[in-house]
Structure 1
Amino acid sequence: MWIYFVLAAALLPVYWFRDRYAYWQKRGVPHLPGRFPFGNLQNLNSQHLSALAKRQYEQLKSPGRKLGGIFFFINPVAMALELDFVRDVLIKDFQYFHDRGLYYNEKDDPLTAHLLSLEGAKWKYLRSKLTPTFTSGKMKMMFPTVTAVAERFQQSLGAEAGKMQEIEIKDFLARYTTDVIGTCAFGLECNSLQDPQAKFRVMGRKAFPQGLLTLLKIFFGLMFRDVARWFGMRVLNKDVSDFFMGAVRDTIEYRETNNVRRNDFMDLLIELKNGDPSQEDQSDRLTFNQTAAQAFLFFAAGFETSSTVMTFCLFELANNQTLQDKARQNVIDVLKKHGSMTYEAVHDMKYLENCIHESLRKYPPIVNVFRNVTKPYKVADTDIVLDKRCQVMIPVHAIHHDPAYYPDPERFDPDRFEPEQTALRHPMTFIPFGDGPRSCIGLRFGMMQARIGMAHLLLKFRFRLGARVSVPLEIDPSSLVLSPKGGMWLNVEKI
């Protein structure tokens, strides 16, 4: 009898795992077979997730097929294959897909409970309150601050270009965006352009740790959130969390004590923390931890993604001097027209904007977008029903590289984003910021600091590929955000 009991105990998990990996087969959904324990997350130590997802997308895609099945660990994930289905998930049927399903832990890792990861009513309330920070009017108010940092960036790069033949431009760009975000979010002079080891820059780097274990931890939290919370799993290192919590606390105390107003992101967060004194009900006020989490998100998302986009854009322009000359001439012509680098001027640099958009197409910083199914959902024009808590993955990088939408997708061609070309494509063929109610709230700000930074650089410098840069570019498999392996080394010549 004991032998039967032991055999049953040993075989039960085997049958359970086999049943999990039969999930899509039972539902008649075309899928890729999963293997224990990683499902379809194989070889992440040797290839970036973008390459893995692109290959899976190509294997599963078929005319008329809305989605295909894959597995992350033992959990089923629906990969969106058809653009109308992508639109349904992000926009049309948003009420079924309003949560990202990202891991956060308010108790043990409070800075992770920010707008990007929060769900349901908490997300809806915060989104409505934070949206006014990113209107075009607010961007116009922040424009002089960003321009002042860009001018210091221009001077710092000029000084460096006189000393070195090749410059690792990715780190330089991250220092620029760190100083921009630090000023706009915290009202602090981070000084990372002058000091590469400035505290904000060091902690910014540590906020994006690399390596296979980090990737697996993030995916584990994504797939097994309740278990991860039960174990008190942290995403951020404690010293990173302590530093940013301290920076927010000091900033709030200084502003409240000295009655300082800067009309920036931190001012709005302080208002949400303190609430409206004339109202009896103060239940909607942000706690200090919630305030700090939003400030951290603005900092982390703002400096890393924008610097990454500019890095890849400079790489492509350095690799094609004709396009670089065209972008530079666009900046010069617009400045002649407007007389100076104004808010209206940078928005009039249409070819430069096309270059940034083409960089976002070819190298989207966030390569996949996830949505949780919040209630059973029947996929339009099919018999497929997605269960509650099933994950849907939208393979942004794979869609951006689909030759059906972008002929010769590996070619960098800013003219793809001329209005007449854009009008011919399905709107879901270009989604680097997501779309719908949960699209990137900081889109305007990110584009503004990228435009300003690129305009200042092209005006004063010519960029050529350094000897340490390979073509085609090699992507770092250990990086969560799309990033060049070994950095981005460019020759920088003063004009």
Structure 2
Amino acid sequence: MSNYFEILCGVAALLIAVYYYATSTFDFWKNRGVVGPRPLPYIGNIKEILFARKSLADYTREIYIAYKNEPMVGLYSRRSPVLLLRDPKLIKNVLITDFPNFTGRGTIINEKVEPLSANLFFLEEERWRPLRNHLSPMFSSGKLREMFHLIVECSQYLEKYLEENVGRTGIIECQALAAKYTTDVIGSCAFGIERSALENENSEFHKISREVFAVNLRNFLQQKLKEFVPMLYNLLALLPPQNFVLAFMKLVSETMKYRRENNIARPDFMKLLMDLQKNPDKLQNIEFTDTMLTAQLGIFFAAGFVAPSMAISNALYELALNQDVQDKLREEIEEFCGKNNGELKFDDIKKMKYLDKVFKEPSFSRTRKTETSSTWRGKDAYPLEIRKDALTHV
């Protein structure tokens, strides 16, 4: 009997130790007078995110609204304290005044598991700061001006593509169209690949663009292991990278090799990175390998085709619902193009005030009705809304 009692005491002591370890940090925000929801042992406040019941964005929004009278909210990601700022002054301090103290992303980087993770979005401060100092000027208005004719060429081909396909099918899915167009723009401006997505849906570049944000079991497990079981995440280095990663790395490698062998120079993002690679002293002796160069192109590609394609498809949707807005926008564009024999100029874009309003106005809303339509838009639809008075008076 005494042996059973000792075993029971041992199990109880172990459970108490585990519980203490799982909750030992949960007084962190309380001791500092910061309010927040009650955390669960080991899981903290991320249960809904852990089990994929809510996205991080939706959960953050709920917390932001629930604590509307607080300047900040104390949360826990497992055992780690996390602070959600609501006060604009505090946010400004973090992003500007005290930014040198907040350069870390708080994410794990294992380049053997994810070769494209060593990009500007995830890098630690030692590599991030010198790289950012040299990449930021690449997105200046001057650099955009140099690439503008590449964007115009893609737009001209888009116009031709629409004329051919609308006449044949009568229906065009605008979201897919916008994704193809932005993929071509990124392909041209960053890689020197011309019109692969619109011209050929089965092109390697278009396949990569479809798989970047694809939802599959490996992506899901990889992300969850990174967040919650880093040791198991690191073991994924034993597996080969995903197919789209290998395809992307091969594409960049072959493009760089072809340019070097044929002495080709285009005013695009790849050339800027290749020039930077030739001058390692500018990066404070950071080893700017081909893989790291590819990672910068990868984040540029991922960010460059998704957000613009959503903005374009949202704008097209609202313009279809608001014919008067569409007509007024077309008149403005034709007016400026008419001044230059039908050509679109870089400087004219900034002068098109109504075009600027149209792109800034559409915003996501969970309301099922809009001023332009009282009908339901589908069970899972998040309709958009253009307020005509705002377009007129903003």
Normalization by structure 2: what TM-score? 0.83
Deviations 1:382-411 (A, max 9, x none): xxxxxxxxxxxxxxxxxxx8xxxxxx9999
User: CA–CA distance in 2 between the matches of 1:162 and 1:281?
Assistant: 52
Contact 2:116 2:294 in 1 (8 A): yes
Give 2:381's match in structure 1, choosing from 460, 464, 473. Answer: 473
Q: Paired residue for 1:106? A: 111
Deviation at 1:219, TM superposition (A): 5.7
Alignment of 1:368-447 (within 5 A): none
CA distance in 2, matches of 1:257, 1:18: 59
Moved more, 118-127 or 70-79: 70-79
**Hey, which of these two has a bigger chunk of strand by percent?**
1
Query: Is 1:348 equivalent to 2:351 in the alignment?
Result: yes
The structural deviation recorded for 1:216 is 6.8
What residue is the counterpart of 2:304 in the other structure? 302
Task: Tell me what 2:263 maps to.
Answer: 259
* Aligned partner (choices 203, 208, 215) of residue 208 of structure 2: 203
Are 1:317 and 2:225 counterparts?
Answer: no
Deviations 1:275-333 (CA, angstroms, capped at 9, x unpaired): 27xx7999345111111111212112111121122122223333333333333333233
Distance 1:329 1:472 in 2: 35
The share of aligned pairs that are identical, in percent, is: 28
Residue type at the aligned position of 2:45: G
Within 5 Å, give how 1:89-238 maps onto structure 2: 89-189=94-194, 191-210=196-215, 214=219, 217-218=222-223, 221-222=226-227, 227=231, 230-232=234-236, 238=242
Structure 1 residues 161, 320: CA separation in 2 closer, same or farther (over 3 Å shift)? same
Unaligned 5+ segments in structure 2 are: 1-5, 385-394
C-alpha distance in 1 between matches for 2:240 and 2:357: 35
Cα distance in 2 between the residues matched to 1:121 and 1:296: 20
Q: Deviations over 1:447-475 (max 9, x none)?
A: xxxxxxxxxxxxxxxxx99x995398339
Measured at CA, do residues 55 and 315 of structure 1 come closer, stay the same or move farther in structure 2, by a change above 3 Å?
farther
| Amino acid in the other structure paired with 2:315 | C
Residue by residue, what CA displacement relative to the aligned partner does 1:226-282 show, whole Å, maximum 9, x if unpaired? 546533469995211211111111111111111111122111211222327xx7999
Change in 2 beyond 3 A, CA 1:228/1:131: farther
SS in 2 for 1:77: strand
| 8 Å contact from structure 1 (residues 338, 345) kept in 2 | no
Distance (whole Å) between structure 2 residues aligned to residue 199 and residue 169 of structure 1: 21
Return the alpha-carbon distance in structure 2 between the equivalents of residues 282 and 182 of structure 1: 30
Q: Distance in 2 between matches of 1:259 and 1:76?
A: 52
Letter paired with 1:231: L
Whether the aligned pair in 1 keeps the contact of 2:74 and 2:84 (CA below 8 Å) is: yes
Q: Say yes or no: does 1:249 pair with 2:249.
A: no
Aligned to 2:387: none
In structure 1, give the amino acid aligned to 2:311.
V
Please list the CA deviations of residues 352-406 of structure 1 after superposition, one character each: whole Å capped at 9, or x if unmatched: 12222234xx34xxxxxxxxxxxxxxxxxxxxxxxxxxxxxxxxxxxxx8xxxxx
The amino acid of 1:57's aligned partner reads Y
Q: Which amino acid aligns with 2:297?
A: A
Over 3 Å counting, the alpha-carbon distance change for 1:171 and 1:326 in structure 2 is same
Larger of the two Rg values belongs to structure: 2
How far off is 1:186 after superposition? 1.3
The answer on whether the counterparts of 2:45 and 2:78 sit within 8 Å (CA) in structure 1 is yes
Contact kept? 1:75, 1:223, Cα under 8 Å: no
**TM-score, structure 1 as length reference:** 0.67
Contact persistence 2:75–2:84 (CA under 8 A): yes
Deviation >6 Å, runs of 4+: 233-236, 279-282, 408-413
Out of 51, 55, 71, which is 2:58 matched to? 51
CA RMSD of aligned residues (A): 3.5
Tell me which moved more, 102-111 or 134-143.
102-111
Mapped to 1, the partners of 2:48 and 2:239 lie a distance apart of 22
Counterpart AA for 1:354: K
Q: Distance in 2 between matches of 1:250 and 1:3?
A: 64
Q: Is 1:39 matched with 2:45?
A: yes
Does the C-alpha gap of structure 1 residues 237 and 319 become closer, same or farther in structure 2, counting only changes over 3 Å? Answer: farther
Higher helix share: 2
Distance of 1:157 and 1:113 partners within structure 2 = 38
Contiguous gaps of at least 5 residues in structure 1: 364-400, 402-407, 414-463, 476-483, 485-495
Q: Distance in 2 between matches of 1:91 and 1:264?
A: 30
Distance in 1 (alpha carbons) for counterparts of 2:222 and 2:245? 17
How many residue pairs get aligned? The number is 375
Q: 1:167 Cα deviation (Å)?
A: 2.7
Letter in 2 for 1:251: T
User: Helix, strand or coil: the match of 1:193?
Assistant: helix
